[in-house]
């Protein structure tokens, strides 16, 4: 089963940084949820993307949104990355790839001449009712956080 636009996102529980050890998607009903999937902590593109969401975080929260970054890295790796980049939002560890599979973000990639399965940079906007209202796939980092913010703003304004 994978997510579909304009359908309710299936509930999931995931390991997360911060005071809580896990979050459940349904805990955020009543809030907009931004899930951005990225390949690896502390790599240039992933760092820039996370910084862009960080730098616009107050604008997201002003629009009743929570932001989560997701990769297959461990909580320990996420904790270090979050601290070093001063990220005000939590990072989800999906090392069993269940959430990656739900959102269909695992794709073949070439790395050092070998094909590997990795996370395709993707972002999903879930509205306050738990419905997937927008998705971005094959994301280019430059300007992406602002694009998500603009779409969120439009969705909130159209309520």
* pLDDT tens track for 85-132: 999 999 999 999 999 999 999 998 887 888 889 899 999 999 999 999
Over residues 20-41, the pLDDT tens digits come to 889 999 999 999 999 999 999 9
Token pair belonging to 12: 């999931």
Q: How many residues does the chain have?
A: 159
Architecture (CATH level 2) of domain 13-154? 3-Layer(aba) Sandwich (3.40)
The one catalytic residue among 9, 14, 33, 46: 46
Residue pair 126/133 in contact by the 8 Å Cβ criterion: yes
The yes-or-no verdict on residue 149 having pLDDT over 70 is yes
Token pair belonging to 118: 């990795």
Using CA atoms, how far apart are residues 31 and 4, in angstroms rounded to an integer? 19
- In 3D space, the residue among 123, 131, 127 whose CA is nearest the CA of residue 147 turns out to be 123
- Secondary structure of residue 42 in the 3-state scheme: coil
The DSSP line for 91-131 is EEE-TT-HHHHHTT-EEEEEETTEEEEEEPPEEEEE-TTSB
Residue pair 93/14 in contact by the 8 Å Cβ criterion: yes
Over residues 49-86, the pLDDT tens digits come to 999 999 999 999 999 999 999 999 999 999 999 999 99
Q: What residues does each domain of the chain span?
A: 13-154
Give 34's contacts (C-beta < 8 A, 6+ positions apart): 53, 60, 65, 66, 67, 68, 123, 124, 125, 126, 148, 152
100 included as an active-site residue: no
How buried is residue 104: exposed, middle or buried, by Cβ count under 10 Å (0-12/13-18/19+)? Answer: middle
Reported as a pLDDT band with limits 50, 70 and 90, residue 137 is very high
């Amino acid at each position: 089963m994978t997510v579909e636009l304009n359908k309710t996102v299936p509930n999931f529980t995931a390991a997360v940084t911060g005071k809580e050890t896990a979050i459940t998607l349904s805990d955020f009903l009543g809030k907009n949820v931004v899930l951005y999937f990225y390949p690896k902590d502390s790599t240039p593109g992933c760092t820039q993307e996370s910084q862009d969401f960080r730098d616009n975080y107050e604008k997201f929260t002003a629009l009743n949104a929570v932001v989560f970054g997701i990769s297959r890295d461990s909580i320990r790796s996420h904790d270090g990355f979050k601290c070093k980049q001063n990220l005000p939002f939590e990072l989800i560890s999906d090392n069993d790839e269940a959430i990656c599979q739900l959102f269909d973000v695992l794709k073949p990639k070439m790395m050092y001449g070998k094909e590997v399965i990795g996370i395709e940079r993707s972002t999903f906007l879930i509205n306050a009712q738990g419905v997937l209202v927008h998705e971005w796939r094959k994301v280019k980092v430059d300007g992406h956080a602002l694009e998500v913010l603009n779409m969120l703003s439009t969705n909130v304004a159209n309520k």
